[in-house]
Structure 1
């Protein structure tokens, strides 16, 4: 087997409107059309997609509440980490600066899914 491309990641959410606000307005991801009948929303970053899927129940799986980066998370590259911090602050989104000292931070979506934003 030879895997040649990453296609998408599915994220379970409890409230689609609240999650669309976070991923679309706060993170600024581009929403794309989807033809599936179950509740959800798709977003695209380059050739990669984020699939928000509405679930009746979300089970928190944070194993390290002190250092968010040591939990399951998605990572995105940003062009300006300071601008990302300002955007998160302006929307009262919690975040932690990476403990490693690199140019990265970790935030949480409304359901507690952790997102890393890193300036390369």
Structure 2
């Protein structure tokens, strides 16, 4: 098998309008397509992240809550590349989004930190 990249990351949210606003208006991802699937009473929002990356944001009626432990088996977090981490943290905080203190990756010596989406999904920003 030969892959050529990651096509998308899928996220299920509990409040579609709140998450849509967060990912589009705050994080600045552009909408590729928004689809309401009546048979599932669910939205699917395709978002462009950077030049080639994509997030699929799903809404479902009454989805179960995310497992609370950050070290649980499965997807740990989603990381986004940024050019200036201090500027990005300032921007997030100006929009009422708390970010952890900036740390240094002991392997790459790059700066990174974490914040959360409206459903407490851990998101990372990593300085490129």
- CA distance in 1 between counterparts of 2:90 and 2:31 reads 22
Q: How many residues get paired?
A: 115
TM-score normalised to structure 1 length: 0.83
- Aligned counterpart in structure 2 of residue 62 of structure 1, from 64, 68, 82: 68
Task: Report the structure number with the largest CA radius of gyration.
Answer: 2
Preserved CA contact (<8 Å) 1:72 1:114: yes
5+ residue gaps, structure 2, are none
Q: In structure 2, what is the equivalent of residue 77 of structure 1?
A: 81
Aligned to 1:24: 24
Runs of 4+ in 1 over 4 A off after TM superposition: 98-101
RMSD: 2.1
Would you say 1:105 and 2:110 are equivalent positions?
Answer: no
Is there any run of 5+ residues in structure 1 with no aligned partner, and where? 66-70
Structure 1 position 90, deviation (Å): 0.9
TM-score using structure 2 length: 0.78
CA contact under 8 A between 1:13 and 1:58: conserved in structure 2? Answer: no
User: Residue 98 of structure 2 corresponds to which residue in structure 1?
Assistant: 94
